[in-house]
Structure 1
Amino acid sequence: MDWDDLRIFLAVARAESLSGAGRRLNMDASTVGRRVARLEAAVGAALFAKTPQGYALTSEGGRLIAPAEAAEKAAAAASEATRREAGISGQLRIGAPDGCANYLLPQVAQKMCETHPRLEVQIVSLPRVVNLSKREADMAIAVSPPDTGRLTVQRLTDYRLHLAAHRDYLDRHAPITELDDLRGHRMIGYIPDMIYDRELDYLSETGIETAQISSNSVSVQMQAIRAGAGLGIVHDFAIPFAAGVRRVLTDRISLTRSFWLLRHADDRASRRLTLLADQLAQGLRAEVARLEAL
């Protein structure tokens, strides 16, 4: 059985579509379909059933997942054995919430690529937790540790958030010195039914229930605050990127959250990914500390 066919089989199983697998493999969907058909002919059974939701594994396909993943792991180990530690190359895909992806990971990725010139870093920012079981990424950063899944979890660092507004907004309104002064102000925050992790429910800790301007993206919220549209909870590490944004009521409203690094349990034996995970963790801690000190 050809390992390359198994690689394509796993991509379809994880993406649940030929086009999604093709994007991950940099391959035409029609080519992916032909390769799946070739593998099905080789094993003598249908591996996928086409449904309105996409390509679902048949019982025969489900039984092939474990040996295919074992072959994937063996291929990665063989590749690692021929690669010198000082010259880590290839692709590293990191999933992260958009605040981390926008304000921290670009600088961390830049330093990792300087250390490993042949490394390609991909940053995936999604309004949900990245699915490592479907191999949407090699590793992911989350704002809370997961309760389920075959994952290794490492606490990375704490970070702080405060209520903030642009100086133009503050100049147009009466001074804010007490929590009661927030009544009547326009608030900016998350769309309530799109908060995918309880740790992102920032405004509830201020006693404010409604945001007049809301988005599922913290970066969009920051742009609204920069535009002078109102007040919102922002990451301290994002403030250096937003000229004119000032923290408000720092003695009354101060939140602390944590970043967690998630990896698939099967990747623990990968020296390459472990080295890159260590560099990612060190870089993220240093960048949070640097930006919060500005």
Structure 2
Amino acid sequence: MKSDLNWDDLRVFLDVARLGGLSAATETTGLSAATLGRRVTALERAVGEALFVRSQSGYQLTPAGEDLLARAEDVEAAMLSLRRWKEGNHGDRMVRVSAGPWTSAFVASHIGDVWSVADRFGLEFVTANQKVDIGRRNADLGIRSQRPTEQWLAGRLIGRVAHALYSGLNLVNGIAAGYFVGVVGEGAQIQSARWLQAHHGDRIGLRGNDAMSVRELVAAGAGLGVFPCFVGDSDTRLIRIASPIRELETEQWLVSHHEERHDPSVRTVGDRLAALMGQHGALFRGELPRR
């Protein structure tokens, strides 16, 4: 029979889930493995489903466990906010910014323009190739390539992003043979990866499942690759070999929830992000002089 969930049990669950087993969690919780095991079992009874698959190699989350992990992390964030409020840090909160890998990396490299230790909020980067659900508060702000269509979301156009073909500086290895470096996994669904597959799929010699490894392969001469111009033109190891690809040009929208956009911390971060992108607009549009 299901019963009310206990926050102390949820905290134990978070440690076991994040560390992958009871032994590792003994160090962070100060509890014995036996006690942790009993607490996890009690939580499973309260939920009414198994949360872990237990084996000699550790504890692996079940689908129900994965679902609870996401919800427990929301509770954890709320409890942290309450603790800060109790301690008098009334302005403290965590502003979550979602974006793709390249945009997240760009913002991170200019963090001083977006956040400082004087701010009474923190930043959390939610990096994903797919859209993060702002409507369900999985992020406070999102930088997206399309205008939001959901009625509960607000958006403002903050720029445009160009894409082009790049090679490494040395025309060796795959580049000399006219090969391309493709993308697999989640990244294969983004527009530039689909374009490359459609136009040069028969010449893809290597693939990577994350943006950073693809860039390293291209820079090392493994083949040609498609990158946003703000990425390729900023990397001294890469050279743009053609004009931006017209059909890959996208808009850049800053998206927030209608209710959250008036929160002072969210508004401040949003304004700073918009200013940062505006300041580097020519780089994003591929308009800077080519090397």
TM-score relative to the length of structure 1: 0.62
Total equivalences in the alignment = 249
* Cα distance in structure 2, aligned partners of 1:48 and 1:153: 40
Amino acid at match of 1:236: C
Deviation (angstroms), 1:98: 0.6
Contact 1:156 1:260 in 2 (8 A): yes
Matched, 1:222 2:222: no
Q: 1:95 to 1:165 in 2, by over 3 A?
A: same
Q: Which residue of 2 aligns with 1:154?
A: 156
Q: Secondary structure at the match of 1:250?
A: coil
Deviation (angstroms), 1:100: 0.8
Give unpaired runs (5+ residues) of structure 1. Answer: 12-16, 39-45, 58-67, 175-183
Contact 2:187 2:211 in 1 (8 A): no
Contact 1:98 1:125 in 2 (8 A): yes
Equivalent residues in 2 for 1:9-48, closer than 5 Å: 18=14
Q: Which residue of 1 aligns with 2:140?
A: 138
Q: Which residue of 2 aligns with 1:233?
A: 226
Contact 2:163 2:226 in 1 (8 A): yes
Identify which of 263, 274, 293 aligns with 2:256: 263
Structure with larger RCO (C-alpha < 8 A, sep 6+): 1
Deviation (angstroms), 1:105: 0.4
Deviation (angstroms), 1:224: 1.0
Kindly provide the CA deviation profile for residues 97-146 of structure 1, in whole angstroms up to 9, marking residues without a partner as x: 011112x2024422222484554323232232223344333222222345
Q: 1:252 to 1:274 in 2, by over 3 A?
A: closer
Equivalent residues in 2 for 1:4-83, closer than 5 Å: 18=14, 52-54=62-64
Kindly provide the CA deviation profile for residues 40-87 of structure 1, in whole angstroms up to 9, marking residues without a partner as x: xxxxxx788656412599xxxxxxxxxx99xx8xx99xx7xx989xxx
Q: 1:49 to 1:284 in 2, by over 3 A?
A: farther
* Cα distance in structure 2, aligned partners of 1:173 and 1:188: 9
Q: Which residue of 2 aligns with 1:246?
A: 239
Q: 1:172 to 1:142 in 2, by over 3 A?
A: closer
TM-score relative to the length of structure 2: 0.63
Q: Which residue of 1 aligns with 2:54?
A: none
Contact 1:143 1:199 in 2 (8 A): no
Amino acid at match of 2:145: V
Identify which of 272, 285, 288 aligns with 1:279: 272
Give unpaired runs (5+ residues) of structure 2. Answer: 1-5, 20-27, 52-61, 68-73
Q: Which residue of 2 aligns with 1:97?
A: 100
Q: Which residue of 2 aligns with 1:190?
A: 183
Q: CA RMSD in A?
A: 4.8
* Cα distance in structure 2, aligned partners of 1:220 and 1:145: 29
Q: Secondary structure at the match of 2:134?
A: coil
* Cα distance in structure 1, aligned partners of 2:121 and 2:150: 31
